[in-house]
Chains A and B, each alone.
Chain A
Amino acid sequence: MESIKTKDLIQLLTRDQWQQQFAEGQALPPELEQLRDLVREQPELLDEMAWQSEFDGQLLDVFDEIDVPVELVDRLIAVIHESEPIAAFNDIRLVEDSEFTEEVDTNLVIPYMAIATDVGDAPPFLRSQRRGLMWAMLGTAACLVFAIALSPFWSAPSVEKRLNYAALEEMVPVWLTELERTQGWEHRLVNAPYATSIVENQVQGKVISWRTIGGNDDCIAMNLSSPRNGKLWVLIVSTGELERATPFREIQLSGEFSAGSWSDGKHLFVAISDESMKKIGRIFRKPLTV
């Protein structure tokens, strides 16, 4: 469980909790009870809590102020209808797959362009699988032709997101699950998308293997684990654009691992180790210091 400072608990107190439970001395959720002690020690926090509560109320009022397009329902239903032939095809494949999973498999999403393709009326309910399969193949073929024809004009909207320290904190535990797998590591270093020297010039240690993270070259992990270094991985993250070189900075993690990131102005690096942060400091070559 990540630790949270007592003062940060103020952020979690809702307007209703402040106005009712807190003000009237009623029981708060156990996690928030310590706020009463905090206020006893620092009465000036009451002002801040009152302000936060008022501000929370404003946010609550504004959050739903979004106009919903009038024809949205029609468009959604149309998309569902247009996808029916392909859904029928997928139905054949999915008969035995009936477990409810939270992790939705987006591979099952019909490609967007396919949905817009006119494939005629949907086959009636419970027609033969053969007929459904035929429609699905026709739809898929039409989609492919359409997609190829339009591909030069496509320009996928860039959803540019800033990778920041908070996001890195979220990503490191995800990366760790792959890093700790013994399979998937490549020992032929010449095949790595980056020369090992890119890491070895900055970190004391020898790269012994590498792997992709998430199955693509956007994130490459170099393994520098050794009896001296303990478990040590340095990740090279492909970035669309780096604003500047940044010095090493610790990433707040819960659990047994330490991590930090830095950039050389061209690449973003993330070091993850099972050693303490102090020890990580010793593996960096000068002038890069923790």
Chain B
Amino acid sequence: MDKRESSKKMQILDALLEVPREIDPLVDSMSLATERKELSVAQRRMWIEQLIADHHQSLYRFCYRLTGNASTAEDVLQQAYLIAFQRIGQVKDPAKARSWLFTVVRTTFLKEVRKKREWVFTDVEVEDNRVPDRSRSQEVDSQRLQVALDALPETFRIAVVMHYQQQMSYREIAEQLEIPLGTVMSRLSRAKRMLKSKLFVTQKQFDSEE
């Protein structure tokens, strides 16, 4: 095979693998014998192991805040990484793998919740409208924050966790969730108000227990 042919073949393989060679060093270790659009299992495993090493902590914290407990958080994270393992070949830009992983986690969480949901109809708006007493000092700790988060509807919780934990603006959240900016603004505003209200309620309970 002459040099020109070889170079042409490399270009075709790059296109087939869909991962820019200059961006992802992992691609260099890929077998060029795999003339397929999908990455092989071994290639995907290498990539996913790297993503586990790089992002497992932030993803676990994200899962924890969404699910409210350690074991469910780990289950969701495992599921999400397994889905990512299957689908990682579809990520066209490796630089976006992190945000793609967060999307996979979010989707996995929502599907899990909706699958297992037992609906109990309550009126959360009553507490939503309570105004926190600003004269009181508000000490927030991680546990009480979680209690307050658990009381929010899932879509509100996702918005508020993305905002505080990933420090995303409402504009960035709208882009990530692919929903209108106004919807996110409304959702985030209400979620923050409800969260503060809930925190205030749990603070009062905490104070009275003391």
Contacts and interface: CB of A to CB of B under 8 A. Distances in A.
B85 A83 contact: yes
Contacts of B86: 87, 90, 94, 108-109
A73 B56 contact: yes
Contacts of A65: 141-142
Nearest to B192: A11
Interface string B169-195: 111000000101111011011101111
Interface string A66-92: 101100110111011101100110110
Nearest to B52: A76
Which of A12, A156, A164, A241 has the most B CB atoms < 10 Å from its CB?
Answer: A164
A109 B78 CA distance: 10
Contacts of B56: 68, 72-73, 76
A79 B8 CA distance: 38
B122 A29 contact: no
Interface string A86-111: 01101100111011111111101110
A204 to B, nearest CB: 24
A66 B64 contact: yes
Given A98-B37, A106-B83, A109-B82, A125 B42 contact: yes
Contacts of B83: 104-106, 108-109
Interface residues of A, number: 83
B38 interface: yes
A165 B52 contact: no
B38 A69 contact: no
A12 B188 contact: yes
Contacts of B42: 125-126
Interface stretch (A2-10, A178-186, A195-203, A278-286): A2-10
A163 interface: yes
B130 interface: no
Contacts of B182: 1-4
Given A1-B181, A103-B107, A108-B87, A237 B38 contact: no
Interface string B27-65: 000010110111011101100110011001100110011
A58 interface: yes
Given A59-B164, A80-B85, A98-B90, A160 B120 contact: yes
A189 B110 CA distance: 32
Contacts of B122: 162-164, 243
Contacts of A160: 117-118, 120
A242 interface: yes
A59 B141 CA distance: 8
Contact of A59 (B40, B41, B145, B154): B145
A119 interface: no
Interface stretch (A33-41, A47-55, A144-152, A220-228): A47-55
A88 B189 contact: no
Size band of the interface chain B makes with A: 35 or more
Contacts of B123: 164-165, 246
Contacts of B82: 79-80, 83, 109-110, 115
A62 interface: yes
Which of A101, A166, A268 has the most B CB atoms < 10 Å from its CB?
Answer: A166
Given A83-B85, A87-B86, A59 B140 contact: yes
A159 interface: yes
Given A73-B52, A125-B42, A101 B90 contact: yes
A121 B179 CA distance: 44
B34 A126 contact: yes
B202 interface: no
A47 B40 contact: no
A246 to B, nearest CB: 7
Given A3-B182, A66-B64, 15 more contacts: A3-B186, A9-B185, A11-B193, A68-B57, A69-B60, A72-B74, A76-B52, A87-B85, A112-B78, A126-B31, A159-B116, A160-B117, A163-B117, A163-B120, A241-B118
16 contacts: A2-B182, A8-B189, A62-B140, A62-B142, A69-B70, A80-B81, A108-B83, A125-B31, A156-B116, A159-B118, A160-B118, A162-B119, A164-B125, A238-B119, A239-B118, A246-B123
